[in-house]
């Protein structure tokens, strides 16, 4: 994808589909390496499924035989000299501590590094589409941290839905302000 943010959206949607109550999107930029982690507490995957999600001919969809979210993310990081790893614990294996942890590393100084793009929009799209599940977004660089935790928002807002217009506007502005302070 032309921007990693679109790829992040695609993969984070898998976490929501896996029934996650909290999906974390953690980005760390340090010494020319960008580390992306997508962590969820969803139903998890068996080891066989973990192995097959990087296979472009595997998908949970039944309408077509090809799923491209993880394969394209893997390609994007590997073509910069980085790597992708997935660890997962199924709900049956551990009812109290299950979910999936994806880690992708990218060498930002590599000429084939795909720009991160507009991750704020990715976060907004996720909240808008799934107002009843929680997201923790954190983007850390040498100049500081951008952070949004919908659990904190929910505490303040009480019964106001997260995807109501005013809340979305506020979240957009909140992320924009934090990014301005970073640069």
Cβ–Cβ under 8 Å, residues 157 and 167: yes
**Which span (69-77, 80-88, 124-132, 175-183) binds another protein, by CB under 8 A?**
69-77
**Scanning residues 126 to 165, which ones bind another protein (CB under 8 A)?**
none
Candidate list 46, 47, 55, 83; residue touching another protein; CB under 8 A: 55
* Residues near 172 by beta carbon (within 8 Å), at least 6 away in sequence: 120, 124
Please work out the total of residues on this chain that contact another protein, with binding judged by CB under 8 A: 14
Residue in the block written with tokens 């943010």? 5
* x/- track of binding to another protein for residues 4-23 (CB under 8 A): --xx----------------
Q: Is 61 in the site for another protein (CB under 8 A)?
A: no
Q: Is 72 in the site for another protein (CB under 8 A)?
A: yes
Q: How many residues does the chain have?
A: 183
**Selection from 37, 36, 42, 45 nearest residue 133 by Cα:** 42
Min dist CB 3 to another protein, Å, is 10
40 is written with which tokens?
Answer: 């969820």
Q: Is 64 in the site for another protein (CB under 8 A)?
A: yes
For 74, phi then psi, to 5°, come to -60, -45
- The Cα–Cα gap between 52 and 30 comes to 30
**Which span (1-9, 14-22, 98-106, 126-134) binds another protein, by CB under 8 A?**
1-9
Neighbours of 101 (CB within 10 A): 15
First to last CA, the chain: 25
Min dist CB 42 to another protein, Å, is 24
Candidate list 22, 49, 68, 168; residue touching another protein; CB under 8 A: 68
Min dist CB 178 to another protein, Å, is 28
Question: Hey, which residues does 35 pair with through a beta bridge?
Answer: 28, 105
Q: Residue numbers of the site for another protein (CB under 8 A)?
A: 1-2, 6-7, 55-57, 64-66, 68, 71-72, 75
């Amino acid at each position: 994808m032309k921007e990693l943010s679109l790829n992040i959206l695609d993969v984070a949607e898998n976490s929501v589909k896996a029934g996650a109550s909290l999906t974390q999107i953690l980005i760390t930029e340090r010494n020319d390496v960008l580390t992306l982690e997508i962590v969820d507490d969803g139903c998890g995957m068996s080891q066989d499924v973990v192995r097959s999600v990087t296979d472009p001919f595997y998908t949970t969809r039944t309408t077509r035989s090809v799923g491209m979210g993880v394969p394209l993310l893997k390609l994007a990081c590997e073509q910069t000299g980085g790597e992708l790893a997935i660890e997962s614990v199924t709900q049956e294996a551990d009812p109290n501590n299950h979910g999936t942890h994806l880690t992708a590393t990218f060498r930002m100084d590599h000429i084939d590094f795909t720009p991160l793009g507009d991750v704020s929009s990715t976060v907004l799209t996720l909240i808008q589409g799934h107002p009843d599940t929680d997201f923790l977004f954190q983007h850390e660089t040498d100049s500081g941290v951008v952070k949004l935790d919908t659990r904190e928002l929910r505490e303040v807002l009480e019964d106001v839905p997260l995807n109501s217009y005013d809340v979305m506007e506020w979240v957009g502005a909140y992320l924009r302000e934090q990014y301005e302070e970073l640069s």
